[in-house]
Structure 1
Amino acid sequence: MGKSLIVFLAVLFCTAGAVVRAEAQTPLGEDECADVWKKAGGHNLSPDQAKPFIKSFVQLDTDKDGSINWEEFKAGCANGLVIKK
């Protein structure tokens, strides 16, 4: 039973990692990123403003100030974390 549990957990962790990687979108180019930024509000984005346009607020809010600025948003575009709408 112990070996079965270890195998199950190993499969679970591998599957979870694949799902997280699959969630990343194709990186957006600079013009596409700027268009999405404008649609989202074009200034520091609150979680509610950003939600329709991003995969994870926590991943983009790298300075942990509770908003996503243009630099953070651009990095998210480059990393495939921004959704083109």
Structure 2
Amino acid sequence: MRIDRELLEVILSIKNMGELEHFFDEIFTPAELSDLSLRWKLLKDLHAGMTQRKIAEKYGISLCKITRGSKVLKKNGSITLKMLDSKN
């Protein structure tokens, strides 16, 4: 399933960090927010050079979840990689 374009436009239109956080709290469950935050943290750790095994230990997650993130960072034209590079 692809994400709804209207939802992306709504998210893009929210310029205030507090409002964005409140919006996410309203539309996502605590578990969904936790999963989303974890995905970002493991991507940041991969980008910083941490091994997949270290990340698995750090967060208590499977290597499969981390491998998916690794593939995202290796993909040609990865927006995630671009965002992480820009934070450095």
Same-fold call, TM > 0.5?
no
**TM-score when scaled to structure 2?**
0.28
**TM-score when scaled to structure 1?**
0.28
Structure with bigger gyration radius: 1
